[in-house]
């Protein structure tokens, strides 16, 4: 590739998702946020390269956050920004950035008005949700009002999926996407071991396309979905066509698109 071509090609933008919460690690709650965040970021050209689930323990949050915010372009956290004693994410993020933490005037105003409307007491615990690290900017929460926040390349969001989703959706303007990953899926009722060798050869001929093979079992039938991901949609179409031809070679009629 010439230097010019290298310049023309959009850069790769990476992200890490940090899920903060004992309830995910204990198995009590099944995480529903990673798939949403990854899908959303994919659409705007940001690739999730790693995800971690960590407990509500300050030194773990601080160390992990400092490691991943240096390694990836963006970090998205969920969980730990409510009013109770186990909600320590904001304090841990402030500590990781080496900044202070205090009441954010706008957050305090929004929450104050919210509790005046609902009639619930705006007590010290609820005021905790207006505490943001110095220099952080709010992420609006139209659902339950308590804001998330952004500091540097770190976006701190709620753990409740309904709230996390509106926060995530509101961030598009603040994020700079890069090369947009496209994908094609070809599915057939064929064992992945049958086409594995030729699929490996196809992968070797198209190193810029990531070819994944995912077997599925539904009742007594089984099959394989081949997923191709890459930034060049013409090349993806060519590879998808080759995968369809490959399945037909073994007497199986492929279906373009997902199954299982």
Phi, psi of 18 (to 5 degrees): -115, 110
* C-alpha–C-alpha distance, residues 168 and 152, integer Å: 16
| 121 counts as binding its own copies under rule CB under 8 A | yes
* C-alpha–C-alpha distance, residues 176 and 117, integer Å: 37
Number of residues that bind its own copies (CB under 8 A): 70
Question: Looking at 12, 63, 83, 238, which residue binds its own copies (CB under 8 A)?
Answer: 83
Q: Which stretch binds its own copies (CB under 8 A): 3-11, 22-30, 89-97, 168-176?
A: 22-30
* C-alpha–C-alpha distance, residues 61 and 91, integer Å: 10
Question: Looking at 66, 170, 180, 203, which residue binds its own copies (CB under 8 A)?
Answer: 203
CB of 53 to its own copies, least distance (A): 4
| 172 counts as binding its own copies under rule CB under 8 A | no
DSSP letter assigned to residue 188: E
Query: Under 8 Å CB-to-CB from 84, ≥6 apart: which residues?
Result: 125
| Conformation bin of residue 201: beta by default, left when phi > 0, alpha when psi is -120 to 50 | alpha
Handedness of CA 157, 30, 86, 114 (dihedral sign): positive
Angstrom CA distances, 155 to 15, 105, 167, 188, 236, stand at: 11, 19, 10, 40, 32
| 59 counts as binding its own copies under rule CB under 8 A | no
* C-alpha–C-alpha distance, residues 231 and 216, integer Å: 26
| 114 counts as binding its own copies under rule CB under 8 A | no
| 232 counts as binding its own copies under rule CB under 8 A | no
| 42 counts as binding its own copies under rule CB under 8 A | yes
CB of 255 to its own copies, least distance (A): 16
* C-alpha–C-alpha distance, residues 104 and 131, integer Å: 6
| 197 counts as binding its own copies under rule CB under 8 A | yes
Question: Looking at 9, 11, 58, 86, which residue binds its own copies (CB under 8 A)?
Answer: 86
| 229 counts as binding its own copies under rule CB under 8 A | yes
Length of the chain counted residue by residue: 260
| 50 counts as binding its own copies under rule CB under 8 A | yes
Residue with tokens 């509790």: 115
Question: Looking at 215, 245, 253, 256, which residue binds its own copies (CB under 8 A)?
Answer: 215
| 211 counts as binding its own copies under rule CB under 8 A | yes
Question: Looking at 88, 101, 214, 238, which residue binds its own copies (CB under 8 A)?
Answer: 214
Question: Looking at 4, 85, 117, 142, which residue binds its own copies (CB under 8 A)?
Answer: 85
Whose CA is closest to 62, among 34, 97, 87, 86? 97
Chain residues binding its own copies by CB under 8 A are 22-32, 34-40, 42, 47-56, 60, 82-87, 120-121, 123-126, 128-129, 144, 160, 162, 181, 183, 191-194, 196-197, 199-200, 203-204, 210-217, 227, 229, 258
């Amino acid at each position: 590739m010439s230097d010019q071509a290298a310049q023309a090609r959009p850069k790769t933008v990476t992200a890490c998702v940090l899920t903060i919460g004992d309830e995910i690690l204990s198995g009590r709650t099944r995480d529903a946020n990673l798939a949403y965040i990854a899908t959303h970021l994919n659409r705007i050209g940001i690739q999730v390269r790693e995800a971690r689930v960590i407990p509500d323990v300050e030194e773990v949050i601080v160390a992990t956050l400092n490691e991943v915010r240096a390694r990836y372009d963006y970090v998205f956290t969920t969980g730990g920004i409510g009013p109770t004693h186990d909600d320590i994410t904001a304090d841990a993020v402030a500590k990781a950035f080496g900044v202070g933490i205090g009441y954010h005037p706008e957050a305090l105003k929004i929450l104050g008005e919210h509790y005046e409307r609902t009639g619930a007491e705006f007590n010290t615990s609820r005021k905790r949700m207006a505490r943001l690290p110095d220099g952080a900017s709010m992420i609006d929460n139209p659902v339950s009002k308590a804001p998330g926040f952004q500091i540097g390349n770190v976006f701190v969001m709620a753990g409740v999926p309904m709230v996390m989703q509106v926060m995530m959706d509101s961030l598009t303007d603040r994020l700079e996407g890069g090369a947009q990953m496209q994908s094609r899926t070809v599915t057939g009722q064929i064992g992945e071991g049958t086409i594995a060798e030729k699929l490996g050869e196809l992968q070797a001929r198209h190193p810029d396309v990531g070819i994944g093979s995912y077997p599925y079992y539904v009742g007594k039938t089984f099959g394989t979905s081949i997923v191709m991901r890459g930034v060049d949609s013409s090349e993806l179409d060519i590879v998808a066509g080759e995968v369809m031809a490959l399945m037909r070679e073994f007497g199986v009629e492929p279906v373009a698109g997902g199954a299982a």
